[in-house]
Amino acid sequence: MKMVTAIIQPKRLSDVREALSEIEVTGITATEVKGFGRQKGHTELYRGAEFVVEFLPKVKLEIAITDEQLEQVIETIIKACKINGGKIGDGKIFVSSLEQVIRIRTGETGPEAV
């Protein structure tokens, strides 16, 4: 099993979620994060003093899937995020391996638990 971690623009959240449910991904965990990447933060102003907000709001999605789903999930995310063409700040996807997944309610483990 794999854990796909995608850092995306907050405004893309609902697009990505919809796209993923169409390919039958049934579970997602979303976290509000602050991201710092190539995209430069924006400038704010306070009492006349400018300052750069370096960490921009992003959403982190964690999606546990079976090995077979991996390719499709990645493609789906990329497509949903690039709805308006690719822009800096669109985000990144990280993939790592999962040793075990357990559904607490039933105690099921492995791919069925995903």
Residues that bind ligand ADP (CB under 6 A): 7, 27-29, 35-39, 56, 58, 62-64, 88-92, 103, 105, 114
Q: Judged by CB, which is closer to other proteins: 48, or 107? A: 48
Residues in the chain: 114
Q: What letters, b where the CB count within 10 A reaches 16 and e where it falls short, cover 52-70?
A: eeeebebbbbebbbeeebe
Residue 95 makes contact with a second copy by CB under 8 A: yes
Q: How far, CA to CA in Å, does 12 sit from each of 54, 66, 102?
A: 20, 24, 29
**Which positions touch a second copy (CB under 8 A)?**
2-3, 6-8, 17, 26-38, 54-55, 58, 60, 64, 74, 77-78, 81-82, 86-88, 90-107, 113
